[in-house]
Each structure stands twice: as structure tokens, then as C-alpha cells.
Amino acid sequence: MAGVQVFNRTTGDRFSCEEGQSVLKAMEHSGLRCVPVGCRGGGCGFCKVTVLNGEFQCGKMSKVHVSPECRKRGEVLACRVYPLTDLTIECRPQGAADSTTEQQQK
């Protein structure tokens, strides 16, 4: 498999993703920063995206950030999304943290 294409509808960026590679890792390998990068381990919720189109598998993710309902709506963590087909994703605007971990501290 030569890899699938991921299209970030929020930013207009496109990048290819190899088999077995997570969406977030593929994005980082492409030199893009169109999805916020956090822990890369399914724990912090920073890289939450909504998958609008396409098939994918998921690795383990924190229940706090991805409830079963979220998962059904395609709201998942890019670091734990492994595409099976081309994907179209949407992400929160840059700089926004997960609503549950958001803070303004300066």
C-alpha cells in the first residue's frame, strides 16, 4: 500500500500517511503543524480531530478525552488514528486546547 491521503478541511493541508502510521505522526513527518501536537500517546487530548470521511482504526485513548459517544461521532485523537482509506478531518483552530484542559495562565 502506497499510503493514503489525509485532508485537513480546517486548514486546507494535505499529507500522505503510510500504513500503520498515525495521522499525527504522518503530519509531523510531512513537516506540517496543522493539528496541535501534545503527548502523542492518547493521553492529553490535545490533538483531537473529527474524522468527516473515511475508514480508520483507533489505538487506545483516554476515556476522559474520547468517550464512546465521541468515538461514534468520529471525534478522536489524531495520534491514535490509523487510516484504512483516505480521510478528511477537521480540527480545532490552532492554539485552542481541549475544552477540559483549557486555561489561560500567564
Contact residues for another protein, defined by CB under 8 A: 36-44, 46, 60-64, 95, 97-98, 100-103, 105-106
Q: Toward another protein, which CB reaches closer, 37 or 88? A: 37
User: How many whole angstroms separate alpha carbon 106 and alpha carbon 89?
Assistant: 32
Q: Toward another protein, which CB reaches closer, 42 or 54? A: 42
Residue 27's nearest CA partner among 42, 45, 15 is: 15
Kindly state the smallest distance separating residue 86's Cβ from another protein, in Å. 25
User: How many whole angstroms separate alpha carbon 84 and alpha carbon 96?
Assistant: 28
User: How many whole angstroms separate alpha carbon 47 and alpha carbon 36?
Assistant: 5
Kindly state the smallest distance separating residue 92's Cβ from another protein, in Å. 12
Q: Toward another protein, which CB reaches closer, 24 or 54? A: 24
